[in-house]
Every structure is written in C-alpha cells, then in structure tokens.
Amino acid sequence: MSRRARLVAGGCTLLLAVEAVPLIILWGVEGPETAGDAALVAVSSPALVGIAGFAVALAAGLSMPGLEPVKPLPGPVDERGGTSGAGGACGPHLPTSQLQTGLRRARWAAIAALAHVAALALAYVLDNGARAGSRAFGESLDDGSAMWGFAVLVIHGLVLDPRGLVAFGVAFVVLGLARRPVRAAVPGRAASRTTPWSRGRRPG
C-alpha cells in the first residue's frame, strides 16, 4: 500500500472516529438505547457515502504538485523539516513557498469538506427518494423540491452542522502530514538481527 493510500485511509478513519465522539456523550446523558440509535446513524449508508466523497477529494488533493506525499529519503530525519546525510539534504524553504503551500492545503481541505457534506446530502436525498418511490421522487425533481432539499442540507452541513468543520480540520492535518519527511527503511537491518553470527556464533 502506498503512502498516499495509507494517508487517505487514516484520514477517513479519523473522520469517522471524530464524528462518532457525540456517541460517548449520548451514552452518558441519554442512555445506551439512544447511543445505539446514534451509532447506527453514524455508520449508515449516507454517512459512509459522505466518507467516500471525502476520501475521493482527499486523494485528489494528495496528488497535486506541492501536496503529494514526500518520498522516503535515506538518512536521519531532520526535525526542522528535512533530512540529513548524503542524498537527503534539502534546501531552505522560503516563507513565500510555505504560504503558498498552506493556501493550497486550506483550499483542498475545504474541497474535501465540501465533498464530504455534498456526498452526505446527496445520499440522504436519494435515500428519501427510495423510500418515497420513483413516482414521488420524480415529481420532487420536477418541482425542484429535491434540489432545494439538497441545497439546504449542504448549507446546513457547512454552516450549522460541525461535520463540515471537522472534515476540514482532518483533511488539513492529513495534507500537512503528507509533506513531513519520513525515513526510509534500511534494507537488511531486520535480517541481520536473526543471523547466527550476530549473536556471537559462527555459521557451520
């Protein structure tokens, strides 16, 4: 699994976990039955569709130039944002470059939050349409009530519901982690620990 795939999976897991925090509050306030109902809502089909929309937008952001995950480099990782050692030296980061990178991170985090809320709202509209039937859903499309309902859900998710803000924060953090340098694994290190002569005995 590539590092980008791991970052997307970790971001989706973190988003799902953070959005499930109110379940703990419901457990202590309303009781286990209410918490169970809320848990079903948290893992319902519309909620998972919203997570999928977030994942698609986050993966697209991680493929953009300047936001793509940093490849592992040899040498120890420098805490200031680079690597030391042969082949791992990095030049200084200009403030203008850092500002542009931060703006790109904020823009793609906002896109991921919008994709999360829009996918969630669309899933709710389609779910309600499936319950009402094809004829009633077709009529709602004709008179525009379905589109208005979708727009209201999106605005509610971005302005009143904390899901949009939570999705923005998670995406911003993941996009920042992608640019942190990582240390490449040294080949043969694990194998050298299990060889007989590494424990003071000669082979044969």
51-to-27, 32, 54, 132, 171 alpha-carbon distances in Å: 24, 25, 5, 25, 12
Burial class from Cβ neighbours inside 10 Å (0-12, 13-18, 19+) for residue 110 reads: middle
Q: Are 174 and 7 in contact (CB under 8 A)?
A: yes
Cα–Cα distance for residue pair 180/9, rounded to 1 Å: 17
Residue 62 lies in a domain: yes
Cα–Cα distance for residue pair 13/101, rounded to 1 Å: 25
pLDDT in tens, 142-186: 888 888 989 998 998 888 888 889 999 999 999 999 888 766 555
Q: Are 49 and 127 in contact (CB under 8 A)?
A: no
Rounded to two decimals, the pTM is 0.72
Residues 6+ positions from 127 with CB-CB distance below 8 Å: 45, 46
Q: Where is mean pLDDT largest: 19-28, 42-51, 89-98, 117-126?
A: 117-126
Residue 200 lies in a domain: no
Burial class from Cβ neighbours inside 10 Å (0-12, 13-18, 19+) for residue 126 reads: middle
Full domain range(s) for residue 43: 3-68+94-183
Look at 65 and 41; give whichever has higher pLDDT: 65
Count of domains in the chain? 1
pLDDT in tens, 89-117: 444 444 557 788 889 999 999 999 999 99
Where does the pLDDT of residue 85 fall: very low under 50, low under 70, confident under 90, or very high at 90 and above? Answer: very low
Cα–Cα distance for residue pair 136/139, rounded to 1 Å: 5
| Mean pLDDT over each residue of the chain, to the nearest integer | 77
Look at 13 and 25; give whichever has higher pLDDT: 13
Mean pLDDT of 48-72: 88
Smallest Cα–Cα separation from 15: which of 45, 43, 37?
43
Residue 175 lies in a domain: yes
Residue 104 lies in a domain: yes
Residue 74 lies in a domain: no
Where does the pLDDT of residue 84 fall: very low under 50, low under 70, confident under 90, or very high at 90 and above? Answer: very low
Residues 6+ positions from 66 with CB-CB distance below 8 Å: 100, 101, 104
Residue 193 lies in a domain: no
Query: Residue 34: enclosing H or E segment and its boundaries?
Result: helix 32-42
Residue 123 lies in a domain: yes
Residue 116 lies in a domain: yes
Alpha helix (H) residue ranges in 63-162:
95-132, 134-143, 145-159
